[in-house]
Structure 1
Amino acid sequence: MNTGTLADRLARAVSQGRVPDLHGVVAAHRGRVVLEHYGEGEDFRLNEPLGHVRFAPDTLHDVRSVTKSVVGLLYGVALAEGRVPDPDEPLLRHFPEYPDLAADPRRTALTVGHALTMTLGLEWVEQVPYTSPANGEIAMELAPDRFRYVLERPIAGEPGVRWTYCGGASALVGRLIEKGTGAALEDYARARLFEPLGIGRFEWSTGADGRALAASGLRLTPRDLLSIGQLVLDGGAGIVPESWLATAIRPHVRIGEGSHYGYQWYVGDTWAGGFGNGGQRIYVAPALDLVVAVAAGQYDLLDQPTAAVVVDEVVLPGIGR
């Protein structure tokens, strides 16, 4: 296999219109970059239009919900430092500012692990556009207190049983990190993850309360996403505890056929990944010694095929899977 083969495969996919709104892709096989491509197109910082952008290696890009997977890694770092509670600890014990919620016996069963795996058993809807207040994440950000908003959602089922996609769960995980470390989430990420990885420049959008959006606010480059994926492939690279990674990318709850969820990471039979609205992707395949990072601009579209086509139809066949 050579880089030209992958570049040719990607060029054909681009010319055939099979990877619409592809803004950037970087892939590394056996520790060596084998594909790197940048496009152009309309882009946004969350819902703020940025106009037409020509993307380059140093262009920051919304990673949207890949942010959740980064926060999952940070939790493991903070846990190793003794700063945050174990996953099996009661969740509301660590939010004493809401004594009325903690007094509800139906909520005392909630654990930190239920937030990490999005199995809180609370009502939550994110299947509508992220421009609508009917979307749970948007409603959370419009609320006077985003954390109370999540924790007081109506109970929909027993916790730990059913996976429901929930940006609010990630917000709670991020808040536990801030509470335990005494640092803003972005500052802790800079010191404990980004700088050790050589990531010197990033942005993290904040809510009206000034806190970093743990569910969706990060802006990184595709090369940065590749570095994070390579860290996962390398068992934490001495930055994230290997034992935490082994747990984080282990299936905890079934999503669908061949797809599970770990601790803020998606898990397949042969891969682990971080997914974000619009086609953002970190794809890690340990058995193939492969990492793929994708940035795309298909935000809020019902069908977002670009990242899947890049991984499944360009990269994997190109390395001879």
Structure 2
Amino acid sequence: MDLSSISAAVVPLHLRSCLIYRQEKLIFEHYRHQQVEYELTKINSCTKSFLSALICIAMDQGLFPPPDTKLSECVPMLDKEKDDWRKDITLRHLLTMSGGWRWKEFGGINSFPQMTRSQDWVAFALEQPMATPPGEVMEYNSGSSQILSQLLVQAIGGSLVSFAETYLFGPLGINDYHWEQDPQGIHTGGFGLSLRPADLLNFGRLYLQQGQWENRQLISSELAVHSVQPAIRVTAPWSGSYAWHWWCDSFEGDGKPSFDYFYARGYGGQFIYVIPSLETVVVLTDDRRKRERPPVDVFPRLIAPHL
């Protein structure tokens, strides 16, 4: 690994943070200023991958239904809807954002902002008209994440954060965090979690170790591996594939060894990259205005070639 080249490429970008962990060691650590190491930052849609982890844990405990369970079995109101494709939606479709609803996160019909201005986010997401049969097209949809968050709360019979503190945050040493809620008091599934950079790194390490943390299996290795496997191809402007609220892609540089990776991605430059073949986790965070941010391809363009 060429750390000097990575440093030369990353430091001038003035990222909020950049951490690189490889083969059980933190080998690169950069913060815009010293306080960043200890400050909470909004991780935006990286929250989705934490929700995925909690769902996997609940599945392991037999609390959350199997992925191929019909959504209508969990949400009786769907049985009363008109006879369309929504009755074929499964929990797996929600996890892979392939439910088939007509939804544009931003731009066009601006589904996400409309949802957050509604009085009942889950009802808003469920009531959107169908566009395609479930399972055919991945359409990025934070409404699906909010539905999953509510289903998880129903399954565990209590607070999502209490469940997280017991089975994920506590073991990983996450003691300070903030998590937003919807108007019904359900913690946001698609965004809204604030953590420290080191927390993101430990979360990535958990998946690098196939769900194991300090000799304890927090997530079964079967689900930890399955949930980050490519499940459905994505279309432009995205690249690669989508898994259970994780992105998947490959690095194929000119004359450089190729490798596969999966990653959590949040608006504004929040990333957790996990590269199993290299035993590596890379965390990037930022908090600047859009016109001041570096491009979103910092990892594949400036870091991956030197790994």
Matched, 1:10 2:7: yes
Structure 1 residues 108 and 231: CA distance shift in structure 2, 3 A: same
**What is residue 268 of structure 1 aligned with on the other side?**
249
The match for 2:154 among 175, 179, 189 is: 179
Q: Determine helix, strand or coil for the equivalent of 1:10.
A: helix
Picking from 73, 87, 93, the partner of 1:93 is 73
Q: Which runs of 4+ in 1 moved over 6 A?
A: none
Alignment TM-score, normalising by the size of structure 2: 0.88
Using the alignment, how far apart are the partners of 1:118 and 1:89 within structure 2?
15
Q: Percent identity over the alignment?
A: 29
Superposition TM-score, scaled by structure 1 size: 0.84
For residues 51 and 281 of structure 2, the distance between their equivalents in structure 1, rounded to whole angstroms, comes to 19
1:120 counterpart = 2:89: no
Which one is further off, 192-201 or 92-101? 92-101
- How far residue 128 of structure 1 moved from its aligned partner, in angstroms, is 3.3
Structure 2 unaligned runs (5+)? 251-259
Matched with 1:48 is: none
Return the alpha-carbon distance in structure 1 between the equivalents of residues 287 and 276 of structure 2. 27
1:86-118: CA deviations, max 9, x gaps? Answer: 1111102101255533x6343211111110000
Query: Quick one: which of 36, 59, 70 aligns to 1:56?
Result: 36
| Distance in 1 (alpha carbons) for counterparts of 2:92 and 2:107 | 26
- The one-letter code sitting in structure 2 at the alignment partner of 1:56 is V
- Report the counterpart of residue 46 of structure 2 in structure 1: 66
Please tell me whether the aligned partners of residues 67 and 214 of structure 1 are also in contact (alpha carbons under 8 angstroms): yes
The whole-number CA distance in structure 1 between the counterparts of 2:163 and 2:130 is 32
Q: 1:302 to 1:96 in 2, by over 3 A?
A: farther
The number of aligned residues is: 292
Which one of the candidate residues 223, 227, 230 is aligned to 1:248? 227
**Partners of 1:164 and 1:210 in 2: how far apart?**
26
In the other structure, the counterpart of 2:21 is: 28
> Which structure shows the higher helix fraction?
2
Match of 1:316 in 2: 304
1: CA distance, partners of 2:293 / 2:107: 14
TM-fit CA distance, 1:209: 2.6
Output the CA distance in 2 between the equivalents of 1:297 and 1:308.
16
The letter for the 2-side match of 1:68 is: K
Q: Deviations over 1:33-53 (max 9, x none)?
A: 01111115xxxxxxxxxxxxx
Give the Cα–Cα distance (whole angstroms) in 2 for the partners of residues 37 and 306 of structure 1.
Answer: 18
**What is the match of residue 159 of structure 1?**
134
> Matched residues in 2 for 1:241 and 1:210: separation?
29
Aligned to 1:203: 178
Question: Contact 1:280–1:307 at 8 Å: present in 2 too?
Answer: no
Equivalent residues in 2 for 1:75-94, closer than 5 Å: 75-94=55-74
The CA RMSD over aligned residues, in Å, is 2.3
For residues 215-270 of structure 1, the C-alpha deviation after alignment (integer angstroms, 9 at most, x for no partner) is 10110111100001000010001101111122111111001486000111101130
- Is this contact kept in 2: 1:281–1:295, CA < 8 A? yes
Paired amino acid for 2:26: V
Return 88-97 or 61-70, whichever deviates more: 88-97
Partner of 1:44: none
